[in-house]
Protein backbone atom coordinates (compact mmCIF):
# COMPACT_ATOMS: atom_id res chain seq x y z
CA UNK A 1 0.00 0.00 0.00
CA UNK A 2 1.27 3.42 -0.96
CA UNK A 3 1.19 6.10 1.78
CA UNK A 4 -1.06 8.23 -0.46
CA UNK A 5 -3.74 5.54 -0.15
CA UNK A 6 -3.86 5.66 3.66
CA UNK A 7 -7.21 6.85 5.07
CA UNK A 8 -7.35 10.41 6.53
CA UNK A 9 -5.25 10.52 9.71
CA UNK A 10 -6.72 11.48 13.09
CA UNK A 11 -7.01 15.23 13.81
CA UNK A 12 -4.11 15.26 16.27
CA UNK A 13 -1.66 13.66 13.83
CA UNK A 14 0.34 16.91 13.71
CA UNK A 15 1.95 15.84 16.99
CA UNK A 16 3.87 13.25 15.00
CA UNK A 17 4.38 15.15 11.75
CA UNK A 18 8.18 15.27 12.01
CA UNK A 19 8.37 11.52 12.53
CA UNK A 20 5.91 10.72 9.76
CA UNK A 21 7.93 12.90 7.40
CA UNK A 22 11.09 11.02 8.36
CA UNK A 23 9.25 7.75 7.81
CA UNK A 24 8.27 8.73 4.27
CA UNK A 25 11.94 9.31 3.47
CA UNK A 26 12.80 5.97 5.08
CA UNK A 27 10.21 4.20 2.95
CA UNK A 28 11.62 5.74 -0.26
CA UNK A 29 14.66 3.50 -0.04
CA UNK A 30 13.05 0.63 1.89
CA UNK A 31 14.87 -2.65 1.26
CA UNK A 32 13.04 -5.10 3.47
CA UNK A 33 9.80 -5.84 1.62
CA UNK A 34 8.92 -9.51 1.97
CA UNK A 35 11.47 -9.99 4.76
CA UNK A 36 10.40 -12.68 7.23
CA UNK A 37 10.39 -12.25 11.02
CA UNK A 38 13.00 -14.92 11.78
CA UNK A 39 16.07 -13.85 13.79
CA UNK A 40 18.61 -14.25 10.97
CA UNK A 41 21.60 -14.46 13.32
CA UNK A 42 19.69 -16.70 15.76
CA UNK A 43 19.96 -14.10 18.53
CA UNK A 44 17.48 -12.85 21.14
CA UNK A 45 18.33 -9.93 23.40
CA UNK A 46 16.59 -8.90 26.62
CA UNK A 47 17.78 -5.44 27.66
CA UNK A 48 16.77 -2.15 29.23
CA UNK A 49 14.72 0.55 27.51
CA UNK A 50 17.60 2.98 28.17
CA UNK A 51 18.31 5.18 25.14
CA UNK A 52 22.08 4.78 25.63
CA UNK A 53 21.79 1.17 24.47
CA UNK A 54 21.89 0.28 20.79
CA UNK A 55 21.33 -3.49 21.04
CA UNK A 56 22.10 -4.42 17.43
CA UNK A 57 25.10 -2.18 16.86
CA UNK A 58 26.81 -3.08 20.12
CA UNK A 59 26.87 -6.74 19.04
CA UNK A 60 27.84 -6.13 15.43
CA UNK A 61 24.36 -7.15 14.30
CA UNK A 62 22.05 -5.57 11.79
CA UNK A 63 18.40 -5.26 10.79
CA UNK A 64 16.69 -8.66 10.89
CA UNK A 65 19.38 -10.44 12.90
CA UNK A 66 17.78 -10.49 16.35
CA UNK A 67 14.60 -10.52 18.40
CA UNK A 68 14.80 -7.71 20.94
CA UNK A 69 12.76 -7.41 24.11
CA UNK A 70 13.17 -4.26 26.19
CA UNK A 71 11.78 -3.03 29.48
CA UNK A 72 12.97 -0.85 32.37
CA UNK A 73 15.98 -2.67 33.82
CA UNK A 74 16.19 -5.35 31.12
CA UNK A 75 14.44 -7.93 33.27
CA UNK A 76 13.23 -11.40 32.34
CA UNK A 77 9.54 -10.80 33.03
CA UNK A 78 6.73 -13.21 32.10
CA UNK A 79 6.35 -11.21 28.86
CA UNK A 80 10.07 -11.60 28.13
CA UNK A 81 9.74 -15.37 28.61
CA UNK A 82 6.78 -15.36 26.25
CA UNK A 83 9.00 -13.68 23.66
CA UNK A 84 11.86 -16.12 24.25
CA UNK A 85 9.62 -19.20 23.94
CA UNK A 86 8.27 -17.90 20.64
CA UNK A 87 11.79 -16.96 19.58
CA UNK A 88 13.23 -20.39 20.39
CA UNK A 89 10.50 -22.36 18.66
CA UNK A 90 9.20 -20.26 15.82
CA UNK A 91 11.72 -17.53 15.08
CA UNK A 92 15.12 -19.21 14.90
CA UNK A 93 16.56 -18.12 18.26
CA UNK A 94 19.55 -20.22 19.34
CA UNK A 95 21.33 -17.82 21.72
CA UNK A 96 19.82 -15.49 24.33
CA UNK A 97 21.65 -12.52 25.84
CA UNK A 98 20.23 -10.86 28.96
CA UNK A 99 21.83 -7.42 29.24
CA UNK A 100 21.25 -4.99 32.11
CA UNK A 101 23.58 -1.96 32.19
CA UNK A 102 25.60 0.36 34.39
CA UNK A 103 23.99 3.55 35.72
CA UNK A 104 20.51 2.09 35.24
CA UNK A 105 17.80 4.15 36.91
CA UNK A 106 16.06 0.95 37.95
CA UNK A 107 19.12 -0.04 39.99
CA UNK A 108 20.08 3.44 41.22
CA UNK A 109 16.70 4.29 42.75
CA UNK A 110 14.48 2.66 45.34
CA UNK A 111 10.83 2.04 44.59
CA UNK A 112 10.07 4.91 47.00
CA UNK A 113 12.52 7.26 45.16
CA UNK A 114 10.79 6.60 41.85
CA UNK A 115 7.32 7.01 43.29
CA UNK A 116 8.34 10.37 44.76
CA UNK A 117 9.98 11.56 41.51
CA UNK A 118 7.07 10.45 39.34
CA UNK A 119 4.58 11.84 41.84
CA UNK A 120 6.30 15.24 41.67
CA UNK A 121 6.33 15.20 37.87
CA UNK A 122 2.70 14.06 37.69
CA UNK A 123 1.54 16.46 40.40
CA UNK A 124 -0.37 13.62 41.99
CA UNK A 125 0.01 10.53 44.11
CA UNK A 126 2.11 7.83 42.44
CA UNK A 127 2.51 5.61 45.47
CA UNK A 128 0.32 2.92 43.90
CA UNK A 129 2.52 2.53 40.79
CA UNK A 130 4.93 -0.43 40.98
CA UNK A 131 8.36 0.07 39.34
CA UNK A 132 10.09 -3.24 40.02
CA UNK A 133 13.42 -1.67 40.94
CA UNK A 134 16.57 -3.79 41.06
CA UNK A 135 18.33 -3.60 44.44
CA UNK A 136 21.14 -5.99 43.34
CA UNK A 137 21.81 -6.17 39.60
CA UNK A 138 24.04 -9.25 39.74
CA UNK A 139 21.57 -11.20 41.86
CA UNK A 140 18.72 -10.11 39.59
CA UNK A 141 20.67 -11.20 36.52
CA UNK A 142 21.38 -14.61 38.06
CA UNK A 143 17.69 -15.02 38.83
CA UNK A 144 16.72 -13.90 35.32
CA UNK A 145 19.05 -16.45 33.73
CA UNK A 146 17.64 -19.14 35.98
CA UNK A 147 14.14 -18.23 34.75
CA UNK A 148 15.21 -18.70 31.13
CA UNK A 149 17.22 -21.87 31.71
CA UNK A 150 14.54 -23.60 33.77
CA UNK A 151 11.63 -22.65 31.54
CA UNK A 152 10.14 -25.97 30.38
CA UNK A 153 9.53 -24.65 26.86
CA UNK A 154 13.00 -23.21 26.28
CA UNK A 155 15.16 -26.11 25.12
CA UNK A 156 18.61 -26.83 26.64
CA UNK A 157 20.09 -26.37 23.17
CA UNK A 158 19.45 -22.62 23.49
CA UNK A 159 22.57 -20.94 24.92
CA UNK A 160 21.85 -18.31 27.56
CA UNK A 161 24.33 -15.65 28.70
CA UNK A 162 24.13 -12.83 31.24
CA UNK A 163 26.06 -9.61 30.56
CA UNK A 164 26.48 -6.10 31.96
CA UNK A 165 26.67 -3.31 29.38
CA UNK A 166 28.92 -0.43 30.40
CA UNK A 167 27.23 2.71 29.10
CA UNK A 168 30.38 4.84 29.43
CA UNK A 169 32.68 2.59 27.39
CA UNK A 170 30.32 0.59 25.16
CA UNK A 171 31.84 -2.62 26.52
CA UNK A 172 29.90 -5.76 27.33
CA UNK A 173 31.05 -7.70 30.40
CA UNK A 174 30.02 -11.35 30.61
CA UNK A 175 28.76 -12.17 34.11
CA UNK A 176 27.23 -15.60 33.59
ZN1 LIG B 1 18.26 0.93 32.49
**What is the residue extent of each domain of the chain?**
1-30, 36-174
What's the CA-to-centroid distance between 97 and ligand 1, angstroms? 15
What's the CA-to-centroid distance between 3 and ligand 1, angstroms? 36
What's the CA-to-centroid distance between 34 and ligand 1, angstroms? 34
SS3 of 24-54: the string is HHHHHCCCCCCCCCCCCCCEEEEEECCCCCC
The whole-number pLDDT of residue 34 equals 86
The whole-number pLDDT of residue 128 equals 97
What's the CA-to-centroid distance between 27 and ligand 1, angstroms? 31
End-to-end CA distance of the chain: 46
What's the CA-to-centroid distance between 122 and ligand 1, angstroms? 21
What's the CA-to-centroid distance between 77 and ligand 1, angstroms? 15
pTM for the whole structure: 0.94
The pairing of beta strand 66-71 with beta strand 43-48: parallel
Q: What is the pLDDT of residues 4-34, one digit of tens each?
A: 888 887 777 789 999 999 999 999 999 888 8
What's the CA-to-centroid distance between 148 and ligand 1, angstroms? 20
Domain 36-174 CATH (choose: 3.40.1050.10, 3.30.70.120, 3.40.50.800, 3.40.50.620):
3.40.1050.10
CA–CA separation, 130 and 126 (whole Å): 9
Q: What band does 87 get if pLDDT is binned at 50, 70 and 90?
A: very high
What's the CA-to-centroid distance between 134 and ligand 1, angstroms? 10
Amino acid sequence: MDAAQFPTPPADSGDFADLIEANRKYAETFEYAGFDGVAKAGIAIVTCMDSRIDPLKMLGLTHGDAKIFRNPGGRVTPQALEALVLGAHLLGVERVLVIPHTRCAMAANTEEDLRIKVGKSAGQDASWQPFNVVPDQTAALAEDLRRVRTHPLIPDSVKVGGFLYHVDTGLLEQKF
